[in-house]
A and B are shown apart, each in its own frame.
Chain A
Amino acid sequence: MNEEWCLGCHLCEYFCAFVNSGEKYMPKAFALNRQNVPNITVEEGDRINFAVNCRQCDEPLCKKGCITGAISVKDGVVTIDTEKCVGCFTCILSCPYGAVVPNKEGKAAKKCELCISNGGIPACVTNCPNRAIVLEEVY
């Protein structure tokens, strides 16, 4: 995330919510009562904006703190099993980036999983109009 190029347009949030909604047509994903929650948050400041999503930590505090064992790391991606999650939000308490959020029902936690189930290239990266968000593998 390069804040120098973030425009604060919030498109990443909308595309994130859309691709993770399971809907095929974007307007439908945002139709009435379908307020899907994005896994990325744009912070707006005085002439500064940037988007924050999961950093896929090597030693994820969310995983260590998870009371149900719902969080695991698969191929470097920190993943939440929403079936196991009971929504205690210890992960929200733990994440130093504020990158875990309650889902739209407020019953389980969710986070960026790098769109691995949506085709592999994160929607925030492909749809960022100014290349402020890039996907880089860090070893």
Chain B
Amino acid sequence: MKYVIIGNSAAAVGAIEGIRQVDKDGGIVVISKEKYHTYSRPLISYLIQGKVTEDKMYYRPLSFYEENNCKVMLGEEAVRIIPDKKEVELKGGKSVKYDKLLVATGSKPFIVPTEGLDGVENKFTFMSYDDAKSLEASITPDTRVLIVGAGLIGLKCAEGLNKKVKSITVVDLADRVLSSILDEKGSEIMKKHLENAGIEIILSDSVKAYEKNMATLNSGRKVPFDILVIAIGVRPNVELVKEAGGKVNRGIVTDEFQMTSIKDVYAAGDCTESLDISCNEQKILALLPNAYMQGEVAGKNMAGDKVKYEKAIPMNAIGFFGLHIITAGSYRGESYEFIGENSYKRLFINDNRLVGYIMIGEINRAGIYTSLIKDKVDLSTIDMGLLLQKPNLMMFPKDVRKQKLGVGHR
């Protein structure tokens, strides 16, 4: 059996580890456009911040490919999948044969065409190791940074650059920060916190035009900058599958075994759509844990196992300047809000199930809430008073507690 994996990030690593749980021998070929040993994408902001050194960027030890008997083709780009021949064509004309193929191509930064953008000399996206390296190389303590996009990537970039540059301004069209993962109150808390750290945040506004080192906003306000970082959002890399005739909506469509509509072609990670079970909708869940777990399921199935990936939900754990956020699920139904001195919590209950939560500041044991969402636990078996108080196992009935904690629980 010959496995080919296009991509070299979390989903690809998940797949390699998934395959090896089932098939110790089959050959695995990894085709990676980037020339690096598998690294952790979210770490790039920590890298420029100086919290992580280059040798700690790697997602798996340097011996990983060798230990898992993988042939790695770094710096090679797959340009076409030919399902009839079971072949992947590479840039430059070479091709690689597969028995089972995984597409784990991830996503790419989304750039809105804006007047004058081409004329901006120092502009960056913030997705890859190379992005981080070139960004880091071009900043000085006098640099003024303009970041377009107050989402996870933009703000993580802002945190990474803070104190290393003269000023940071973040502009977003939305009326609040982190709008994809927070509610209004949560956004407000985070905005204040970011501002206290010295980051300027301009909301409900966007860049109308660039003129060299000056951005003119829709409001008419002018923001001078030396470096521009575009972090509006990402788009899944679906082209390979689409062109090969596979079904694609916003992301690549797979079944619950992570197989695309093309036989023996699987897909996992940010390029795919998953079923968000907290609201029963197909979504692109561009999250590292999701990518890994999809990849692992894909890998196991590629190697002949039959396992489903069926507990996908949006979830994020992220911190800015020491203030931590954990969120999961979807924000619908009845909500319960708790505001503490340095914390904020909101729980969402729909149809007698916990479907989502936001925790800021106080995040301990949040995973218990996550498990309630993922396991679709019927709350009539749960002590609601305890559930609302804080994450704990006491809220579960005795037999469930026993099963969770008792002897021989696995």
Contacts and interface: CB of A to CB of B under 8 A. Distances in A.
Direct contact of A and B (CB under 8 A): yes
Interface stretch (A10-18, A22-30, A79-87, A112-120): A79-87
Contacts of B56: 68, 83-84
Contact of A98 (B51, B60, B364, B409): B364
Interface residues of B, number: 51
A61 B326 CA distance: 16
Nearest to A93: B317
Contacts of A2: 406-407
A86 B10 CA distance: 17
A97 B375 CA distance: 13
A67 B40 contact: yes
A94 B367 CA distance: 5
Interface stretch (B100-108, B342-350, B390-398): B390-398
A121 interface: no
A69 B58 contact: yes
Interface string B3-25: 00000001000100000000000
Contacts, number: 132
Interface of A is mostly: loop
Contacts of A94: 289, 315, 367, 370
A50 B46 contact: no
B410 A98 contact: no
Interface residues of A, number: 42
A93 B394 contact: no
A7 interface: no
A94 B370 CA distance: 7
Given A95-B367, A136-B407, A67 B322 contact: no
Contacts of A106: 322
A39 to B, nearest CB: 13
Contacts of B406: 1-2
Most B C-beta atoms less than 10 A away, residue of A2, A58, A92: A92
Given A43-B394, A69-B59, A87-B319, A92 B405 contact: no
Contacts of A96: 367-368, 370-371, 374, 404
A93 B153 CA distance: 19
Contacts of A55: 404-405, 409-410
Interface of B: 10, 14, 40, 42-43, 46, 51-52, 56, 58-61, 288-289, 292-293, 296, 315-319, 322, 324, 326, 328, 363-368, 370-371, 374, 386, 391-394, 398, 401-402, 404-410
- 10 residue pairs, one from A and one from B, having the closest CB atoms: A98-B365, A65-B289, A96-B371, A95-B367, A93-B317, A1-B405, A90-B317, A69-B59, A45-B394, A89-B317
Given A88-B317, A93-B363, 19 more contacts: A1-B405, A2-B406, A50-B401, A55-B404, A55-B405, A61-B367, A64-B289, A64-B292, A65-B293, A67-B289, A89-B324, A89-B326, A90-B289, A91-B317, A93-B316, A94-B289, A98-B368, A98-B392, A102-B364
